[in-house]
Amino acid sequence: MKKSLFLFAAICCMALTYAQAPIAMLQHGTNLTPFYGNDALINAYNAAQDEDIITLSPGVFNACDIHKAITVRGAGMMTDTATGVTRTLINGDFVIEIFDSTKSVAFEGLYLNGVHPDTVWNLQFTKCFIASLDNVPYYNASINNCNIVHCIIPAFNASKFQNAHFYNSVVCDPSYYTTFTGGECVFNHCIIKFNCNNYWGSSAINQIYSTNSILVPRDTSSSIATDPENTCTHHEYGIGITHHANNFFHPAGSAEANHLYNFSNFNQVFVGFDFDVTIYADYHLLPGVATTYLGSDGTQIGIYGGSMPFDPKILNPSIGHITVGGQTNDQGQLPVTIEVVNE
């Protein structure tokens, strides 16, 4: 479903300039205020109050630190040439800090360069590509009550999670410090890639819990073992794979019976599997495997299983195409049409 929201600029030349620039729409209650240009997010954020929503058009927006309980929505994490949708990129690293446990902050449909959560409560990422999620510099930080849904995170080095849940997401190199007393870090229908070359990487997998997920050691050297000690005691109904025939992921511990670790299956299952963490990687299981090896919930293992299979398309209304009228109206105003897309 598509609908259009009409704005009228008082000065023609300004309208023409703005219409071609990225737009941030600030929603406060029923009031909508547009901001234009690469600093539109910064300006909208400065004007925002807690519980406001900022909707970003496709394009590039300069980042700003987030200390307010707001929601930031974009047009999507990836460019879709079939539909003509261009991704929304927030350029630059930024810090998120929310000390009030009754408040929340959310991001949806965005390509994010670098996110650094400090102390924050009720944090949610949905359908985002997060190039780096890292709060290691903030040693006293804690991330409390975090949900990550349909996201791809090539560099995940965040720590001190208290109750974090990942759904149908791809996460790379989880930190050794991802769980602490009083909280847990749980992955459901995810792909978890970890570095087994060092102590932190091989130990990190023991700090998290997963169900119906695919575990992928990132080691590409056949001479280095890829069976982290007692790895699978916290991972149920999973699949483990590696790059090498003589160096496959072999589950250990009490959960061994719940894993599919026969390499002959991997050799057939993962032909052409893309080990790189990108938006465009093919994370599907082959059709025969997807319907034969099922998880504890009766659906396929990995990000396309479960009750909400991975899909990068956003669900909430987003700003689509922007067009400018050919001439001014009787009041000397130039019509600017902003198409709001709700698929």
User: Which H or E run includes 56?
Assistant: strand 53-56
Give the predicted TM-score (pTM) of the model. Answer: 0.81
H-type alpha helices, the chain: 12-19, 40-47, 199-204, 263-269, 287-292
What confidence score (pLDDT) does residue 231 get?
52
What confidence score (pLDDT) does residue 12 get?
35
Residues of the chain predicted below pLDDT 70: 1-20, 83-84, 136-140, 175-183, 195-204, 206, 217-233, 240-275, 286-289, 316-343
What confidence score (pLDDT) does residue 319 get?
62
Q: How far from chain centre, in Å, is Cα 277?
A: 12
What confidence score (pLDDT) does residue 119 get?
87
> Dihedral of CA 176/305/77/286: which sign?
positive
Tokens of 181: 């007393």
What confidence score (pLDDT) does residue 279 get?
82
